[in-house]
Amino acid sequence: MALSTTAHGTRHRTALLWLILGVPAALALVVFGAQIHGLDFTVYREGALAFLGKSEHQLYDPSLVETDTRGLPFTYPPFAALLLAPFAFLPEAAGLVLLTATSCLCLLVTAVLVSRYLQLNDAVPARLQAVLGGPAGVIVLATVLIGLLGPWREGLGFGQINPMLMLLIVADLLRPAGRVPRGVLIGLAAGIKLTPLAFGLIFLVRRDWRSIFTMGATFAATVAVGWLAAPAQSRTFWFDALSDPARVGDTTDMYNVSLNSLMVHLGTPEFLQRPLWLLACAAVVVLGFLAIRRADGRGDKVAAISANAVVMLAISPISWFHHWVWIALILPALWVTVRRRRAGVRAMGTALAVAMVPVFMLSSITVTMTLTGEVSGQGPAALELFTSLGVILPILALVYWATDPVPDAGGAETVARFRSTRARSVDAPGPAS
């Protein structure tokens, strides 16, 4: 009994030490590595100022913020500008510090989520856990590894809001069922940035019509609020700016990691690019549907969410490299799936996961800055193909999830669990799934 008490006390002190010293050190390392400049936050703040009529610019002017190479527009709906309005009353430096702190909190929550998921699926080697002193050490390591991945590192540097949007969506899909149906938080995220509407796919797979309706109604409410607050700006966004993807940036840029840019980088003739892109998008949606259904069949909610995230990012006309913060879930979900496959298929999955690491560490910005000292959106064919792997490899992960065998009714295989969703929830797949 005395030995047990002593061991428990030692583990408690180790965990406390990790939390007091390890977490701040990990976050400091990540922030230092991000080399924060806050360019996108500057656009957000200028958008808030324009929304409030405190700027010489209109909200949807093509050049809200000027850089050395181009003008940057505000690309989100008026509702997003309304939510960003408080930053207009803060000095820019103070606002950037606040946004960075919020992103760091999102990073820590994501690290806790990922660590818990991996441990519950026995995907963290016992020796590593022992070296790290238990779950707290695993969380600190996950914080560093996720934070140093390119999308998180560069997103922090730009002052992006993608980590917040990701957690809104994840929270909606993992929270225990309650009186408020799922879809509210996803609808809210879509009101800020339209692409989360793609998460209607996960509800479609589950035939969860209530959540689809809730998501749509919440999104419609954000549009209405934005329209009431700024009717002229809303008219400009919904009937003009939205129809021009090139307004966001050059869709052929290597930093655009999506099927749209892949068509160009593969040398597709211009007259075939759009039809082939639409066909590729349809194929990815079907793959995503199958992958989500297989993940649900195993009870692996994180894999289902990751599969839907891949679909969202792949089919979007523009998915900048820093939009891929979802890699923090995609890689662990792939690894959990890899570990339960038979040897030959496991080797292919392992190779796929390993290949993703350098692809999501080195963006076109990182590579061109390192080689030439300047940022370039166009490059040699080899570099364009390397950056295109950022969409090709996650689509191969969809194939891997879509072909993952579902355990039989007798339970011959262990169903992957995620215990944060202990209660039976409305989004559990029904018999027809």
Residue 403 lies in a domain: yes
Q: How many C-beta neighbours within 10 Å does residue 281 have?
A: 18
Phi, psi of 353 (to 5 degrees): -65, -45
For helices 364-372 and 150-158, angle between their N-to-C axes, nearest 10 degrees = 80
Residue 206 lies in a domain: yes
- 136: containing domain: 13-421
As a whole number of angstroms, the distance between CA 251 and CA 310 comes to: 18
As a whole number of angstroms, the distance between CA 304 and CA 272 comes to: 32
CA separation, residue 198 to residues 167, 210, 218, 319 (Å) = 15, 16, 14, 13
Burial of 300 (0-12, 13-18, 19+ CB in 10 A): buried
Predicted local distance difference test score (pLDDT) of residue 11: 67
Residue 66 lies in a domain: yes
> DSSP for 161-215?
-HHHHHHHHHHHHHSPP-SSPTTHHHHHHHHHSSGGGGGHHHHHHTT-HHHHHHH
CB 64 within 8 A of CB 73: yes
Residue 2 lies in a domain: no
CB 355 within 8 A of CB 393: yes
Predicted local distance difference test score (pLDDT) of residue 132: 85
In degrees, rounded to 5, the angle at the alpha carbon of residue 398 between the alpha carbons of residues 394 and 402 is 165
Residue 137 lies in a domain: yes
- 276, 277, 279, 281: CA torsion to nearest 10: 160
Using the 8-state DSSP alphabet, how is residue 89 labeled? G
Residues 6 or more apart whose Cβ sits within 8 Å of residue 133: 11, 14, 15, 18
Smallest CA-to-CA distance from 171 within 83, 106, 220, 103 is with: 106
Residue 69 lies in a domain: yes
b/e sequence 340-372, b meaning 16+ C-beta within 10 Å = bbeeebeeebeebbeebeebbebbbbebbeeee
CB 243 within 8 A of CB 231: no
Residue 433 lies in a domain: no
Gyration radius from the chain CA atoms = 22
Phi, psi of 65 (to 5 degrees): -130, 130
Tally of domains within the chain: 1
Predicted local distance difference test score (pLDDT) of residue 10: 65
In degrees, rounded to 5, the angle at the alpha carbon of residue 192 between the alpha carbons of residues 429 and 320 is 85
**pLDDT per residue as tens, the chain (433 positions):** 444 555 555 667 777 887 888 999 999 999 999 999 999 999 999 999 999 999 999 999 988 888 877 789 999 999 999 999 999 999 999 999 999 999 999 999 999 999 999 999 999 988 888 888 888 899 999 999 999 999 999 999 999 999 999 999 999 999 987 888 899 999 999 999 999 999 999 999 999 999 999 999 999 999 999 999 999 999 999 999 888 877 888 888 999 999 999 999 999 999 999 999 999 999 999 999 999 999 999 999 999 999 999 999 999 999 999 999 999 999 999 999 999 888 889 999 999 999 999 999 999 999 888 888 778 778 788 899 999 999 999 999 999 999 998 775 444 344 444 444 434 443 443 333 3
In the numeric block, which tokens belong to residue 82?
């309304």
In a 3-state reduction of DSSP, which class is residue 153?
helix
Predicted local distance difference test score (pLDDT) of residue 4: 54
Residue type, 92: E
Cα 342–chain centre separation: 29
Residue 6 lies in a domain: no
Using the 8-state DSSP alphabet, how is residue 256 labeled? B
